[in-house]
């Protein structure tokens, strides 16, 4: 099978370019430690009351580290806020928070504005990611997967002080 | 061309097709598919501009109570838009086009007209059932229908009928090919048919995933035969199918670029063997990459995500091969039109011929759309972009841009053949194409920019409180694109209706089909059984571990179903 000389150069150039892209990816994973969600466990969405998700909210681990449990449900995020209170959590600047999030009913999403946090929330699965909040401001947690009529109102906020 | 023939070993005389016309039997069969596709498109497409309006802060401030006409619930309209455009318009169009390409290139009728009409009937009933389910507000689950959302059973039955219909189409095309092969031992099948065969092989492997999902998980759940499901498993099965699905749409557009555009521009394909390599690669590597849709999923390991990312870069190679090959076609075309200098040919194209212009406009969009795809296929950047407006920005330049425009190019010559009359209006066609190009560029850019700022996709933003003024600007620009695209859609349908009912002039553009093949590609390229084996092997390697880590019969399958309207579980 004959391959034209120019076309051969093109194939080499393109392969090299894709190789560079892949190397960049490798660097971002190995050097900059960009992490992707990986399985941390399952829960029974019908019996969240018997699990670590019984009382959602922030746990202070000391040294600016926190765990945060969140339950997504149609159509709000339960961060442990009292009834009638807005879904908000206040954090000191520099806080490093490991989120553990699950859904009680259907598929939801979890996206924090301005930070590398992007999770699918599936009932039955615990999703987890760690985020450091260095800049003061208000960052929305947005549900980014369709979950019913009030999906676009399903939002919470992180206030970094 | 009559009813089914038994697999004959005798030589059939090549069927001679008329010039500038269709055989009556061709016209009915292909006409039924293409016209159903275009009617479906007209329903689906209209929702698009309305969605951009609901998502535009400026628009909703001006008309606070404005709702999408008829389908007032935003997500009902969005389900129509996704399901009808992405699943039904495409499939009907592709099947009709495949029949045309197969019959004309092989110069013989389909193996069985009965099978062809049977498949059409199934797909048509499928379309009707799905439309019923969505229109009656019982299937507001979007085109990905992720459980634990549950739709009415007719929705899933409709999807099953669509898919089983395409399996019958595959059988029919392969049986036709087998007959041709018996008459032409040692010959290479024409490129267009080669690509068609590759497409259906890929499709049959891919649809296994969604068929298992719908038949064993969703339909029984919706009927109440089972009470629980596993959303992570469903998503894995769906995206086993979901990535090849996009190539199922793309390959017919490539068939037009590789085998028809050279004739339409008076040029010649640069390298037919490498075209075949590109199609084989698309087919084979479409399977082990689908987990790039699952980067944010909690139940899939980072290792599997890494494997699928690497293979995703491999599957970009055939599109780069295409860029070279088609670039060379256009260079020859440009030079023969008098282009000078190294880049003059980029400008000296046949921009005034709708059939060519639509494809060129599609290619312009494909360059932008393709690169945006490479960007969010990178797992690290995907974290910033997954499920944001960036993603629809990307696939409106590829699917709704390059692919749909190429299908429109095909419609602009195939509808006249079906009707036996020339295209109603070339100026309207040109206006339609260029408004579409400009509209999709503005739309893609606006959605992309909004996505980078964190605006989610699939959201009725009219009711949301989290849009920043900066993001609002880009959403407003997407709504302006929506107006332009609305105009473009109306122009498209004027031309379709005009061609079908009001055109008087005789047909002037023939079906650009090549029979025979003279390239030097090895014959083993046509060992479909071998490729099938390779694909199943890759599926096993790339998906086996993923399904293994997802499947948990003890602790999984514990999620009840929900209707989107209510947080109370179904059973
Ligand atoms: C007339 C031009 C079009 C406009 C203005 C338009 C607009 C839109 C918008 C704004 C969305 C996102 C809605 C959201 O995420 O909330 C969307 C989604 C979508 N569009 Fe289009 N669209 C057009 C044409 C098309 C065409 C021709 C196709 C396919 C052939 C298509 C396929 C899709 C698909 C598959 C989705 C995703 C639906 C989902 O997320 O469930 N669109 N469109
Ligand atoms: Cu939601
Ligand atoms: Cu994909």
SS3 letters for chain A?
Answer: CCCCHHHHHHHHHHHHHHHHHHHHHHHHHHCCCCCCCCCCCECCHHHHHHCCCCCCEEEEEECCEEEEEEEEECCEEECCCCCCCCCEEEECCCEEEEEEEEECCCCEEEEECCCCCEEEECECECEEEEEEECCCEEEEEECCCCCCCCHHHCEEEEEEC
Burial B531-567 (b: 16+ CB within 10 A, else e): bbeebeebbeebbeebbebbebeeebbbbbbbbbeee
- Who's near B231: CB < 8 A, 6+ residues apart? A106, A107, A122, A123, A124, A125, B146, B147, B148, B559
Contact A120 B460 (CB under 8 A): no
The reply to whether A88 falls in a domain is yes
| pLDDT at residue B379 in the model | 79
CA of B377, nearest ligand number: 3
B270 vs chain A: nearest CA distance in angstroms? 9
Q: Angle at Cα B318 formed by Cα B316 and Cα B321, nearest 5°?
A: 115
pLDDT digits (tens, 9 = 90+) for B47-84: 999 999 999 999 999 998 899 888 889 999 999 999 99
Claim to verify: residue A49 and residue A30 sit in the same structural domain: no
Q: For chains A and B, what is the number of CB pairs under 8 angstroms?
A: 201
> What does the pLDDT average to over B183-190?
91
Would you state the pLDDT for residue B3? 46
Same domain for A69 and A117? yes
Nearest CA in chain A to B305: A36
A97 and A135 together in one domain: yes
Counting from 1 in the atom list of ligand 1, the atom nearest the Cα of B486 is 1
- B27-62 b/e (C-beta count within 10 Å ≥ 16 → b): eebbbbbbbbbbbbbbbbbbbbbbbbbbbbbebbee
- Ligand 1 contacts CB of residue B362 (under 6 A): no
Contacts of B323 (CB under 8 A, 6+ apart): B367
**What's the burial of B137, exposed, middle or buried (CB within 10 Å: 0-12/13-18/19+)?**
middle
Which pLDDT tens digit goes with each residue over B502-542? 999 999 888 898 887 767 788 899 999 999 999 999 999 99
Which residues 6+ apart lie within 8 Å of B504 measured at CB? B421
State yes or no: pLDDT of B367 exceeds 50. Answer: yes
Whether residue A29 sits in one domain with residue A49:
no
State the pLDDT confidence band at B13, using cuts at 50, 70 and 90. Answer: low
Q: Is residue A129 part of a domain?
A: yes
User: What is the mean pLDDT of the segment spanning B198-215?
Assistant: 97
The DSSP symbol for B524 reads: G
Question: CA B366 to CA B441: how far, in whole Å?
Answer: 10
Output B264 or B7, whichever has higher pLDDT.
B264
Q: Does residue A39 lie in a domain region?
A: no
Tokens standing for residue B516? 């025979």
Nearest residue to B296 via CA among B239, B246, B244: B239
- Both tokens of residue B128? 């009707």
Query: By C-alpha distance, which of B231, B377, B233 is closest to B292?
Result: B377
Instruction: Report how far residue B213's alpha carbon sits from residue B163's, in angstroms, rounded to the nearest whole number.
Output: 12
- Tell me the average pLDDT across B121-125: 98
In a shared domain, residues A89 and A118: yes
Q: Is A18 close to B552, i.e. CB distance below 8 A?
A: no
Q: Is the pLDDT of residue B1 over 90?
A: no
CATH number at residue A51: 2.60.40.420
What strands, in cross-sheet order, belong to the sheet with A155-160?
A: A88-91, A155-160, A137-142, A108-112, A118-121
> How much is the pLDDT for B549?
92
Q: Which of B57, B229, B274, B298 to mutate to test the interface with A (most CBs of A within 10 A)?
A: B298
Q: Judging by DSSP bridges, how do beta strands A108-112 and A137-142 pair with one another?
A: antiparallel
User: Residue B142: left (phi > 0), alpha (psi -120 to 50), or beta?
Assistant: left
- Scan for tokens 């795809």, then name that residue: B373
- What's the pTM? 0.95
**Residues B471 and B450: beta-carbon distance below 8 Å:** yes
DSSP string, B128-141: HHHHHHHHTTS--S
pLDDT tens digit string along A23-42?
888 888 887 777 788 899 99
Q: Has residue A68 been placed in a domain?
A: yes
Considering CB atoms only, which of B271, B305, B520 is closest to A36? Answer: B305
Q: Residues of A numbered 63-122 whose beta carbons fall under 8 angstroms of chain B's beta carbons: which are they?
A: 73-75, 105-107, 109, 111, 113-114, 116-122
Q: What is the per-residue pLDDT for B12?
A: 58
Query: B-contacting residues of A 2-61, CB under 8 Å?
Result: 2-4, 7, 10-11, 14-15, 18, 21-22, 24-25, 28-29, 32, 34-40, 42, 44-46
Distances in whole angstroms, Cα of residue A64 to Cα of each of A34, A68, A91, A140? 20, 13, 9, 21
User: Which residues neighbour B124 within 8 Å (Cβ) at sequence distance 6 or greater?
Assistant: B36
Average pLDDT over residues B426-445: 98
Q: Which chain A residues touch B569 with a CB distance below 8 Å? A: 46, 105
- Residues A49, A118, single domain; the answer is yes
Whether residue A12 is found in the same domain as residue A84: no
Q: What is the total count of domains within chain A?
A: 2
Do A15 and A49 lie in one domain? The reply is: no
pLDDT confidence tier of residue B462, bands split at 50, 70 and 90: confident
Average the pLDDT over each of A21-30, B180-189, B281-290 and give the range with the smallest value: A21-30
Could you tell me if A59 and A85 lie in one domain? Answer: yes
Distance CA B161, CA B517 (A): 36
B149 to A128: CB separation less than 8 angstroms, yes or no: no
Cβ contact (<8 Å) for B273 and A2?
yes
Residue A26 lies in domain: 1-34
Q: Which residue owns the Cα nearest ligand 1 atom 7?
A: B48
- B282 to each of B90, B256, B469, how far by Cα in Å? 18, 16, 41
B485 lines ligand 1 (CB under 6 A): yes
Per the prediction, chain B carries an average pLDDT of 93
What phi-psi label fits residue A71: left (phi over 0), alpha (psi between -120 and 50 degrees) or beta?
beta
Does B44 have pLDDT greater than 60? Answer: yes
Q: If DSSP codes are grouped into helix, strand and coil, which group holds residue B149?
A: strand
Spatial neighbors of B91 by CB under 8 A, at least 6 apart, are: B37, B123, B162, B166
Q: How confident is the model at residue B569 (pLDDT cuts 50, 70, 90)?
A: very high
DSSP code of residue B213: I
Residue A23 and residue A57 share a domain = no
- 3 state SS of B552: coil
Is residue A88 domain-shared with residue A121, that is, in the same domain?
Answer: yes
Does residue A40 form part of some domain? no
Phi, psi of B542 (to 5 degrees): -85, -25
- Across the range A66-84, mean pLDDT stands at 93
Q: What is d(CA A142, CA B386) in angstroms, rounded to the nearest whole number?
A: 12
Q: First vs last Cα of chain A: how many Å apart? A: 66
Token pair recorded at residue B95: 């099947």
Tell whether A22 and A59 lie within a shared domain.
Answer: no
The residue among B131, B172, B171, B177 whose CA lies nearest residue B152 is B131
Q: Under 8 Å CB-to-CB from B184, ≥6 apart: which residues?
A: none
pLDDT at position B89: 97
3-state SS class at B496: helix
Burial of residue B314 (CB within 10 Å: 0-12, 13-18, 19+) is middle
Report d(CA B436, CA B432) in Å as an integer.
6
Burial of B249 (0-12, 13-18, 19+ CB in 10 A): buried
CB A55 within 8 A of CB A71: no
Closest CA to A70 of A112, A33, A28: A112
Nearest to A152 among B146, B309, B464 (CB): B464
- The answer to whether B406 and B256 have CB atoms below 8 angstroms apart is yes
C-alpha dihedral (B553, B558, B562, B564), degrees to nearest 10: -80
Residue among A7, A114, A120 minimizing CB distance to B324: A7
């Amino acid at each position: 099978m004959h391959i034209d000389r120019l076309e051969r150069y093109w194939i080499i150039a393109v392969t090299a370019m894709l190789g560079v892209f892949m190397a960049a990816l490798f660097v971002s994973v190995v050097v900059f430690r960009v992490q992707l969600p990986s399985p941390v466990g399952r829960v029974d969405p019908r019996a969240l009351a018997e699990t670590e998700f019984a009382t959602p909210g922030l746990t202070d681990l000391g040294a600016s580290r926190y765990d945060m449990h969140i339950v997504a449900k149609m159509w709000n995020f339960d961060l442990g806020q009292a009834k009638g209170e807005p879904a908000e959590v206040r954090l000191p600047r520099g806080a490093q928070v490991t989120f553990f999030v699950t859904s009680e009913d259907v598929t939801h999403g979890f996206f924090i504005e301005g930070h590398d946090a992007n999770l699918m929330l599936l009932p039955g699965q615990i999703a987890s990611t760690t985020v450091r909040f260095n800049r003061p401001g208000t960052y929305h947690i947005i549900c980014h997967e369709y979950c019913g009529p009030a999906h676009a109102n399903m939002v919470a906020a992180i206030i970094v002080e | 061309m009559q009813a089914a023939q038994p697999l004959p070993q005798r030589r059939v005389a090549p069927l001679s097709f008329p010039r500038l016309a269709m055989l009556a039997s061709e016209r009915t069969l292909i006409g039924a598919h293409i016209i159903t596709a275009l009617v479906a498109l007209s329903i689906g497409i209209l929702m698009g501009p309305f969605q951009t309006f609901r998502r535009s802060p400026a628009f909703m401030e001006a008309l606070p109570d404005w709702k999408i006409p008829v389908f007032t619930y935003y997500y009902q309209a969005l389900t129509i838009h996704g399901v009808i455009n992405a699943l039904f318009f495409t499939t009907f169009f592709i099947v009709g086009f495949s029949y045309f390409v197969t019959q004309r290139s092989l110069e013989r009728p389909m193996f069985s007209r009965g099978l062809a009409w049977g498949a059409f009937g199934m797909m048509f009933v499928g379309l009707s059932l799905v439309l019923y389910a969505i229109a009656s507000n019982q299937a507001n689950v979007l085109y990905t229908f992720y459980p634990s959302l549950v739709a009415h059973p007719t929705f899933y039955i409709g999807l099953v009928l669509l898919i089983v219909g395409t399996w019958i189409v595959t059988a029919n095309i392969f049986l036709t090919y087998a007959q041709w092969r018996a008459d032409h031992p040692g010959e290479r099948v024409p490129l267009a048919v080669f690509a068609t065969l590759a497409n259906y092989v890929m499709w049959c492997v891919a649809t296994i995933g969604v068929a298992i999902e719908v038949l064993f998980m969703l339909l029984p759940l919706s009927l109440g035969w089972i009470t629980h499901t596993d959303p992570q498993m469903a998503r894995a099965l769906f995206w086993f199918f979901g990535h090849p699905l996009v190539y199922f749409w793309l390959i017919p557009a490539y068939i037009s670029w590789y085998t028809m555009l050279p004739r339409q521009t008076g040029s010649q394909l640069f390298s037919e063997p490498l075209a075949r390599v590109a199609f084989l690669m698309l087919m084979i590597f479409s399977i082990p990459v689908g987990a790039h849709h699952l980067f944010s999923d909690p139940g899939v390991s980072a290792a599997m995500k890494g494997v699928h990312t690497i293979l995703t870069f491999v599957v970009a190679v055939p599109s780069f091969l295409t860029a070279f090959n088609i670039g060379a076609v256009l260079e020859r075309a440009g030079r023969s039109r008098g282009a000078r200098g190294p880049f003059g040919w980029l400008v000296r194209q046949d921009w005034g011929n709708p059939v060519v212009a639509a494809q060129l406009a599609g290619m312009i969009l494909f360059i932008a759309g393709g690169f945006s795809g490479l960007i969010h296929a990178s797992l690290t950047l995907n974290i910033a972009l997954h499920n944001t407006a960036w993603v629809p920005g990307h696939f409106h330049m590829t699917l709704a841009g390059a692919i749909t425009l190429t299908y429109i190019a095909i419609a602009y010559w195939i509808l006249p053949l079906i009707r036996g009359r020339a295209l109603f209006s070339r100026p309207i066609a040109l206006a339609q194409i260029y408004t579409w190009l400009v509209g999709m560029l503005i739309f893609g850019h606006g959605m992309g920019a909004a996505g980078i700022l964190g605006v989610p996709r699939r959201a009725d933003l009219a009711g949301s409180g989290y849009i920043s003024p900066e993001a609002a600007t880009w959403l407003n620009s997407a709504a302006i694109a929506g107006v332009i695209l609305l105009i473009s859609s109306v122009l498209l349908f004027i031309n379709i209706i005009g061609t079908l009912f009001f055109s008087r002039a005789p047909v002037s553009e023939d079906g650009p089909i090549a029979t025979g093949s003279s390239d030097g590609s090895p014959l083993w390229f046509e060992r479909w059984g071998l490729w099938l084996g390779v694909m199943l092997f890759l599926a096993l390697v790339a998906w086996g571990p993923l399904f293994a880590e997802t499947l948990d019969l003890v602790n999984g399958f514990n999620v009840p179903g929900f209707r989107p309207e209510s947080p109370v579980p179904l059973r």
